[in-house]
Structure 1
Amino acid sequence: MSPQNELSLLTFRALCDRCHRESERFFTQQENDPRFCYELFRRAFVHGNDLAWNCLYHQYQKLVLSWVTRHTLYLGLGEEADYFMNRAFEKMWQGIPAENFEKFPDLKSLLRYLQMCTHAVMVDFARWKEQAHLWDRAKQSSNDDDDAYDPFATIMDPTMRPERTIAQREMQQILWQRLNELCNSEKEHLAIHGYFVLDLKPRQIYELYNGQFEDVRDVSRTKDNFLARVRRNDDFQEFLEDA
C-alpha cells in the first residue's frame, strides 16, 4: 500500500493529532513529517471536510497571527490581529477550488499561499482605509497655512458629484505617483505614507520605522521639509490646479 493510501485510511482524530505533533517538532527545529498536515489540507479542499479545516485553523492560527503582528502595515491599520487572521483563512478557503489543489505539491507551498493571503488582506484593508482617510481629510480641511498644507485635500473635494468619483480616484493614484517622484529618499516616502495614508502620529511612524529615523523629531522634520519643497514646486502646483 502506498504512503498516500495509508494516510487516507487514518481517522480524522488520528490525523489531526499527528499533524499537531509534527508541527510542534517543526517549530522546535526537530525532524518532522509534513505529510499529515498536508493530508488534512487535501481533505479540507478536495473533499470539503469541515472538520479537517477546523483542525488546520486551530493548528495554524498562531502562525498567521505572528505574520499579522510582524507586518509593516499592522500598527497603522487600527484593527485587531484576529480580524486579519480570520480574513486570511477565509481568503485561502475561497481561493483554492478542489480542482486546483494539485497545484500545491506540498505543505510548504500551502503555507506560503496562506502567508500571501495574510499579506493581501492587510494591503486591501490599508487601501480601503486610505480612501476613507483621504475623504475625511478633504472634509476637515478648512485652511491652507503651511502647517496644515495637505496636497490630497486639493483633489478630494467632498462636494464632488458622484459621477466624477471614478475620475477622482484615478487622479488620486496619479497624485501618489507624482509625490513618490518628488521624494528624495526612502525616509521621506515612509514619513509621507505613514502620515497621510496610515494616519500615524510622528511617534508611531518612528516606532514603526525606527531604523530610518534618528528620533521622533526627525520624522516631523522630514515630513515638514518634504511638504515645504512640494509647495515650492511649480510643476506640482500646476498639476494640482489642473486636477
Structure 2
Amino acid sequence: MVANIRKFLPYVLASNVAEMAPFLAMVTFQIPAALTVLQILAVDLGTDLLPALGLGAEPPESGLMHQPPRRRTAALLDRPLMLRAYLVLGLAEAVVAMGGYLLTWRMHGLGWDELRLAAPLLLHGQAGPVLTSIQQQASSVAFSCIVAGQIGAALACRSERRSALADLGRRPWLGNPLLMLGVGVEVGFTALLLGWPPLSGQFAMTPFDARLGPLVLLAPLVVMLADDLRKRRLAA
C-alpha cells in the first residue's frame, strides 16, 4: 500500500509545476498566460484522476520483498519524492508545455515583442479574433503537452527503480488495466476538449496546426527520459 501511494503522489504533484509555469512566465516576462483556470481544472479533475487511481492499484514490483523494510516513522512526502515530482517530472512537463506555447506563436509570425504587446489585450478581452484564435491554439498545445507529459509521468511512476523507456518494450501493458483505461480517458477527453464545440468553446481550446503534433507526442518521452536519468544517477 505504501509503495503504491509513493507511485501516485509524484504523478499527482508533477502537473502542478507545469500548471504554475504559465502564470510565473506571465508575471515575470509580461506575456499572456499559457493556460486558463478552467484548463487547469480540466487537468486536475478530468485527465489526472483515473491514472492516479490506476497507479494506486499497480501490481507489486518484482523483488519488492528483497528491499529493506521501510521505517514506520518515515514520511511519505519525503525530500526525494518531492524533488522527483517537482524538479524532474514537473519541470520536464513545464519546459515542453511552455516551449509548445511559444512555438505556436512563432509559427504564426509573432515573436517575443509582439507577444508582450498582445498580453494586455488578451487579458482585458480587447484582442481581435486573430490574436484570440492564436492564443487558443497556443493554449491548446500547452494543455495537450501537459496531458501527454502526465502520461509519461504515469508510466515513469510505475517504478521507483526501473527504466520507464525500457519497460515500454517488455512490461505487460495489461498488468494494470485501470492505468491503461486512465491513459485512454486522458487522450479521449483531450480530443473532446479540442474538437467538440460545446466543450472547446467553454475551455477556450481549438484544434492546432498538425505540425505541432510531434511535439505533443514527444512530451511523454521527454518526461520518461528525465526520470530515467534520475534513476540511473541514483543507481550509480
**Normalised-by-shorter TM-score class:** under 0.3
TM-score for both structures, normalised by structure 2 = 0.28
TM-score for both structures, normalised by structure 1 = 0.27
- RCO greater where, 1 or 2, for CA within 8 Å and sep 6 or more? 2
Higher alpha-carbon Rg: 1
